Structure 1
Amino acid sequence: MKNLILTFALTLTTLFSFAQDKGITITVTVDNVTSNEGKVLMSLHNSDTFMKAQGIMDAETTIENGKVTLTFENVLPGEYAILALHDKNDNKRMDFQENGMPKESYGASNNVMAMGPPQYSDAKFTVTDKDLNLNIRF
């Protein structure tokens, strides 16, 4: 009987620990991609990686009718920003003209695009306890 109770208690503890590890799902849509060429790449960043390093989560997808939807799953609560790129030539990086201007369309969460690269303070959003749906415009 002791073993049965102990087994039951361990099973419940394990189930609760898995439930607490489940993070939030962030679904991101871009609905104004200029063509179906290439792919759209997205990266989820925190303040340490934004415009400095690879994202903490990365995703890519093909484009259909100028629209894409990507998801980031099991995102833990915190502050993040998303960068998106229309990688037209599918070389997995942003291409630039000789004068330093991007050749490919890009966007960031919150859709705040000024002259120059996006800033984390403008693109950041907070993940709490609910799934998020975001739209990024190129």
Structure 2
Amino acid sequence: MEENAAHLVRKYKTNCPFEIAEALGIHIRYMDLGKSTKGLYYKKLRRRFIIINEGLSDQWQRFVCAHELGHDRLHKGINRFFLEEHSYFWPGKLERQANYFAITLLTAGQEQRIGETTEAFAKRTGIPPEMYYFFDY
């Protein structure tokens, strides 16, 4: 996963998931997906789409775009929803991988500073607080 994200950053000279998705020909759409669905990725007739819940903050929209980009890169042919978790159960393996990919992509080129906590590093790099525990994945 790290190499996949690093390859995208090197190739497109950015870690912005919106710019990378555009360069890959993935269409991004914003819709009202209700309260529990943050985003989804799907492919139809060889066209790829990332749908992002329009009600999310900019920080979450960026993370969800990176997460769904992870599904595109890691889980070809599988349509997955990124659902908000309201339980003590971890999301499935594919969701964990997409979360880890998103964090890897969004923190590319950034180093944790000496004495900086994981939480401070995550905050500085725009990772939503709910995703901090994926730094230990």
Which is richer in strand? 1
TM-score under structure 2 length normalisation: 0.27
Q: Larger radius of gyration, structure 1 or 2?
A: 1
* Greater RCO structure (CA 8 Å; 6+ sep): 1
